Structure 1
Amino acid sequence: TLLNCIRYRYHDKEIFIYLLTYSTIRVLNMVFWTF
């Protein structure tokens, strides 16, 4: 149960990092296309 909880938290963090990276790439892409 503890391992499962840790795994769940790690997975959640991974998803958060993925979303953050995706948003940053989108913002940089928009900035790039503006110039």
Structure 2
Amino acid sequence: MGEFIEVSKIDELKDGAMKAVNVAGREILLVKVGG
């Protein structure tokens, strides 16, 4: 099983906002939708 890696706090993104992060060499896009 993989490990948990925190990349953002829930309150860092406003509704509809996006944030690109790099985790272990993989680019991931976080999107906050619906609160």
Structure with the bigger RCO (C-alpha within 8 Å, sep 6+) is 2
Q: Which has the larger radius of gyration?
A: 1
TM-score (norm 1): 0.18
TM-score (norm 2): 0.18
User: As a proportion of its length, which structure holds more strand?
Assistant: 2
User: As a proportion of its length, which structure holds more helix?
Assistant: 1
